[in-house]
Amino acid sequence: MGPAATVNLFDKIVKAADVANDQDHPRIIIVNNPKIPDRTTAILRNGADPLPMMVESARLLAMAHVDFIVIPCVTAHFFHAKLQEQISTPILHVVKETVKHAVTRYPGIGKIGLLATSGTIQAGLFNEACAAANVELLTPDENIQTSNVMKAIYSVKADGPSPASKALISGAAETLIRRGAQAIIAGCTEIPLVLTDGELSVPVIDPLALLALRAVEEAR
């Protein structure tokens, strides 16, 4: 998926392992294929289907005899079920892990803000999990989604993190906080590159960090 997000997840897994020497780390095999078509474009505008190349990449990992697979792209989880149908190797689900963590870590939370791609939001990837947890999900209005969130995400993909993309994402987060969000989910793997916990008046939940922890647990 996104190279920067892939590197970020790899780094988080290494740190989450918290071991004394190299040999105690889990073995990790990475297939980083940035040529996979854009997931948001596929979902919203009938763009090129990313599933065939996702299946191809997953099969390469299966051929390497991995025990499970993680995907450092939240929007790609729109295709999770169809991908899993074609691959016998288990694929962890970052959306389910994120919502489960939120309601466990912050008991009684009633409203969560989501910053994510328009594809993730339109596909409702977090809606079902939040509804099941009796949590209201807040998303940016259409103008903020386009001018702040998507602009920042594609900027990070193209040029890496910058003060400008950080300001755009922080501004979008503040609009959700004013509407009552008690935590913000950084629901696109590029967003934690410019927004981290401790920078807002409410917690920032990083799905990649949770996926890294879950991956280490599963590996052990």
DSSP characters over 70-116: --S-SGGGGGHHHHHHH--S-B--HHHHHHHHHHHHSTT--EEEEE-
Q: Active-site residue among 94, 102, 188, 200? A: 188
Residue 209's CB is within 10 A of a number of other CB atoms, namely: 22
Tell me: do 138 and 64 sit in the same domain. no
Tell me: do 111 and 189 sit in the same domain. yes
Tell me: do 86 and 103 sit in the same domain. no
Tell me: do 112 and 200 sit in the same domain. yes
Residues of the chain with pLDDT under 70: none
Is position 130 annotated as part of the catalytic site? no
**218 close to 27: Cβ distance less than 8 angstroms:** no
Tell me: do 127 and 142 sit in the same domain. yes
Q: Given this model, what pLDDT does residue 128 score?
A: 85
**202 close to 184: Cβ distance less than 8 angstroms:** yes
Q: Given this model, what pLDDT does residue 29 score?
A: 97
Tell me: do 161 and 181 sit in the same domain. yes
Cα dihedral 139, 169, 106, 182, rounded to 10, equals -60
Tell me: do 106 and 130 sit in the same domain. yes
Q: Given this model, what pLDDT does residue 171 score?
A: 97
Q: Given this model, what pLDDT does residue 36 score?
A: 95
71: CATH:
3.40.50.1860
Q: What pTM, to 2 d.p., does this model score?
A: 0.83
Q: Which residues contact 211 (CB under 8 A, 6 or more apart)?
A: 9, 12, 70, 72, 92, 94, 97
Q: Active-site residue among 42, 73, 149, 184? A: 73
Tokens of 26: 């889990």
Tell me: do 41 and 145 sit in the same domain. no
Is position 188 annotated as part of the catalytic site? yes
Range of the domain at 149: 94-207
Tell me: do 89 and 179 sit in the same domain. no
How far is Cα 220 from Cα 206, in angstroms, rounded to an integer?
A: 22
Tell me: do 61 and 126 sit in the same domain. no
Tell me: do 86 and 143 sit in the same domain. no
Tell me: do 86 and 147 sit in the same domain. no
